[in-house]
Amino acid sequence: MLTQRFSRRLTDGLIYTLLIAISAFMLLPFIWMVSTSLKPPDEIFAIPPIIISPNSSLNAYVYLQEQYNIIGIVKNTFVIAFSATILRLFFCALGGYGFAKFKFPGQGALFAFLLGTMVIPGAVTLVPVYIIMRDLKWIDTFWPLIIPGAANAFGIFFMRQYIMSVSSELIDAARIDGAGEFTIFLRIIVPIIAPGLTSLGLIFFMASWNDFIGPLIYLKSPEHFTLPLIIRSLIGPVGRTVYDVQMAASVLSLIPLLTIFLIFQRRIVEGITAGAIKG
Amino acid sequence: MAETSVMKRPNLSMVAKLRKKWIEIYKARWPYLFISPFYILFLIFGVYPILFSLYLSFTEWKGLGPIKFVGWKNFELLLKDKLFWHSMENGMILFFMYVPIMTFLALVLAVILNSKRVRGFRFFRTLLFIPYIMNIVAAGFTFRLLLNQKYGLVNALLEIFNIPPVPWLESVWGGRVSLCLLVIWAWLGYNMVLMLAGLQTIPGELTEAALIDGASPTQAFFYVTIPLMRPVILFSVVLSTMGSFNLFSEIYNLTNGGGPVNATITPVIVIFNEAFRDFRLGYASAMSYLYFIILFVLTLLQFRYFGQQVD
């Protein structure tokens, strides 16, 4: 009895040690990021390292605004992520509805094809899509970051699963009342699937907000940059380390997503796991 | 006469069939309209690029001026391209370095958090998942700072235990380990959440029954939980395989595009450099095709290996 209790204690101890060690590993970069962004430059590489400096200031943030118009950069990032998300949600809900609540010739094959496109890695189309964008004169605009992904295979799959559980009686009743097909979609389906749209929308928004390779290829002039791109391209004045400024921009890129995440955590997790479990 | 009527009948029914088909399609005009955006966009930004890329892989082109057809030359060069094969090898090395550790850790953490023994379940789940929302550029530069050989916090902490400074980003294996740390940091929580969702579909009675029958928790984990979790583990491993070859932003920002001495370069970085730094668009296309085929076969093999065990 005693040994059993002892071994239980021991396992609990081991479990908590593991959890705390991993949590520390997860937290460390965040702490260091915030700490560095507030430090005066000469303390960044101080030995022994300083965690909370008594000389903390928001200088790096002010510098970001003065030199790089960071508010404008945040606005760019938001405009791209927001428009991409809204457009994607619209087309994914529409497509998901088409597959979930209608029967039509070729349905099975079309759906299988849609799922099949998910295995194509982006690297294969990198070059030709760039050529298309160049010929459309879309280089250095936001369009390449919004339009190509506007109807997303995963999103359509996700919405189809979601809409299949909506009762068809509502739709039939509306049809008998003489409602048009598009009105049924907007007035009946969209309100019912709002929670699913939230889950999917949050995932789309985060992916677009954090996208790096797209902006790297398509955005050329600094005033069009997004947050991830500006972090990459920051170089300080001669003779001064740039780390505090880089970390300040990193903190700025994290705060909006962190806020969203803490509010909508459950929805985000639902969206991420739906594909793995149902698929 | 008899012959013509025999000839005519199938014809008529063909026309009728076609007519019926058209009516069916016309009746379904709404769903076709609803699903059409995906197929239209895929035609423009998927099918056309894939075909154009196939054509380009047999040419030499700088992006401007005439496209020069060169036959199989790009592929012949590719077979002898040391950097490309080195990058494929790196993809493999990185895969074996972090995928087993990350998958196992994610599963163990999910099992721990799923058993109601641990207090603060939500707190730990949130904490582990947060790195997923940080953009990888910010994460990459933070890790650079932490792992700096002379001034980084990690080496300063190691010094307390009298461990000499580790050349994290300045040596071949240091660079690879650093990259794995970053990837595990960013994706562990995501994989754990997948596993947690999978665990919640397993009836709790199964593990309990095994424990009552005298199995140790470790035995229950290996003989009950893991077999039942195979589909979710497969999903997570397949995603990570594609992930390890597709690593781009992590490398671009943490090890400055594949350093030190190309120890962390992956195929996507090589393709990106060929295309957007050196403007060898034909060669880059050939490379991306070969890369896609190899990755595709690899994924199929994984499905075969794990898939059989799932059934």
What is the pLDDT confidence band of residue B221, given thresholds at 50, 70 and 90?
Answer: confident
Q: Given a cut of 80, is residue B7 above it in pLDDT? A: no
Structure confidence by residue, pLDDT tens digits, B258-270: 888 899 999 999 9
CB contact under 8 A, A254 and B133: yes
pLDDT of residue A238: 55
CB contact under 8 A, A99 and B31: yes
Strand ranges inside A58-166, DSSP E? none
Q: Hey, of A38, A77, A124, which one would you mutate to test binding to chain B, going by the most B CBs within 10 A of its CB?
A: A124
pLDDT of residue B10: 56
Give the orientation angle of helix A2-38 with respect to helix B121-129, to 10 degrees.
40
Burial of A145 (0-12, 13-18, 19+ CB in 10 A): buried
**Which among B24, B25, B37 has CB closest to A95?**
B37
User: Which of the residue ranges B28-32, B114-118, B226-230 would you say has the lowest mean pLDDT?
Assistant: B114-118
Q: Given a cut of 60, is residue B120 above it in pLDDT? A: yes
pLDDT of residue B300: 85
What is the pLDDT confidence band of residue B1, given thresholds at 50, 70 and 90?
Answer: very low
- Answer for the pair B106, A273: CB distance below 8 angstroms, yes or no: no
**Which among B32, B146, B201 has CB closest to A277?**
B201
pLDDT of residue A2: 57
**Which among B32, B137, B197 has CB closest to A231?**
B137
Structure confidence by residue, pLDDT tens digits, B58-87: 999 998 889 999 999 999 999 999 999 999
Percent of all residues in chain A with a pLDDT value above 70, rounded to a whole number = 94
Q: Is B41 on the interface with A (CB under 8 A)?
A: yes
CB contact under 8 A, A231 and B44: no
Q: What integer best gives the mean pLDDT of chain B?
A: 88
Give residues 147 to 186 of B whose Cβ lies within 8 Å of A.
Answer: 148, 150-151, 153, 156, 185
Q: Given a cut of 90, is residue A202 above it in pLDDT? A: yes
Angstrom distance (rounded) from CA B149 to CA B154: 9
pLDDT of residue A237: 54
pLDDT of residue A136: 94
Residues of chain A with C-beta less than 8 angstroms from the C-beta of B109: 18-19, 22
pLDDT of residue A119: 80
Residues of chain B with C-beta less than 8 angstroms from the C-beta of A157: none
Residues of chain B with C-beta less than 8 angstroms from the C-beta of A11: 217
Calculate mean pLDDT across residues B148-156.
88
Decide: helix, strand or coil at residue A137. coil
pLDDT of residue A277: 54
Q: Given a cut of 50, is residue A209 above it in pLDDT? A: yes
User: Which of the residue ranges A69-83, A255-269, B237-251 would you say has the lowest mean pLDDT?
Assistant: B237-251
What is the pLDDT confidence band of residue A228, given thresholds at 50, 70 and 90?
Answer: very high
Structure tokens, B170: 């300045």
Q: Is B257 on the interface with A (CB under 8 A)?
A: no
How do the domains of chain A map onto residue ranges? 2-43, 60-278
CB contact under 8 A, B292 and A120: yes
Calculate mean pLDDT across residues A149-156.
91
Structure confidence by residue, pLDDT tens digits, A18-48: 999 999 999 999 999 999 999 988 888 887 7
Task: Measure in Å the smallest separation between the Cα of A254 and chain B Cα atoms.
Answer: 6
Q: Which residue of A has its CA nearest to B49?
A: A128
pLDDT of residue A134: 94
pLDDT of residue B308: 60
User: Which of the residue ranges A145-159, A209-223, B37-51, B238-252 would you say has the lowest mean pLDDT?
Assistant: B238-252
pLDDT of residue B2: 47
What is the pLDDT confidence band of residue A8, given thresholds at 50, 70 and 90?
Answer: confident
DSSP string for A163-202: HHTS-HHHHHHHHHTT--HHHHIIIIIHHHTHHHHHHHHH
pLDDT of residue A42: 84
pLDDT of residue B118: 74
**Structural domains of chain B ordered from first start:** 2-56 (no CATH), 76-310 (1.10.3720.10)
**Which among A36, A98, A130 has CB closest to B31?**
A98
CB contact under 8 A, A253 and B135: yes
What is the pLDDT confidence band of residue A241, given thresholds at 50, 70 and 90?
Answer: low
pLDDT of residue B9: 56
CATH of A60-278 among 3.30.420.40, 1.10.10.10, 1.10.3720.10, 3.40.50.300: 1.10.3720.10
Residues of chain A with C-beta less than 8 angstroms from the C-beta of B21: 105
Angstrom distance (rounded) from CA A109 to CA B311: 25
Calculate mean pLDDT across residues A218-225.
95
Angstrom distance (rounded) from CA B188 to CA B165: 27
pLDDT of residue B197: 87
**Which among A11, A23, A126 has CB closest to B124?**
A23
Q: What contacts A200, CB < 8 A, 6 or more positions away?
A: A89, A92, A155, A158, A159, A271
Q: Which residue of A has its CA nearest to B152?
A: A45
Q: Given a cut of 50, is residue B310 above it in pLDDT? A: no
Q: Given a cut of 50, is residue B100 above it in pLDDT? A: yes
Residues of chain B with C-beta less than 8 angstroms from the C-beta of A130: 275-276
Residues of chain B with C-beta less than 8 angstroms from the C-beta of A123: 246, 267-268, 271-272, 288, 291-292
What is the pLDDT confidence band of residue B311, given thresholds at 50, 70 and 90?
Answer: very low
CB contact under 8 A, B232 and A258: no
User: Which of the residue ranges A210-219, B161-170, B235-244 would you say has the lowest mean pLDDT?
Assistant: B235-244
SS3 labels along chain B = CHHHHHHHHHHHHHHHHHHHHHHHHHHCHHHHHHHHHHHHHHHHHHHHHHHHHHHHCCEECCCCCCCEECCCHHHHHHHCCHHHHHHHHHHHHHHHHHHHHHHHHHHHHHHHHHCCCCCCHHHHHHHHHHHHHCCHHHHHHHHHHHCCCCCCHHHHHHHHCCCCCCCCCCCHHHHHHHHHHHHHHHHHHHHHHHHHHHHCCCCHHHHHHHHHCCCCHHHHHHHHHHHHHHHHHHHHHHHHHHHHHHCCHHHHHHCCCCCCCCCCCCHHHHHHHHHHHCCCHHHHHHHHHHHHHHHHHHHHHHHHHHHHHHC
Residues of chain B with C-beta less than 8 angstroms from the C-beta of A27: 127
Task: Measure in Å the smallest separation between the Cα of A90 and chain B Cα atoms.
Answer: 10
CB contact under 8 A, B131 and A209: no
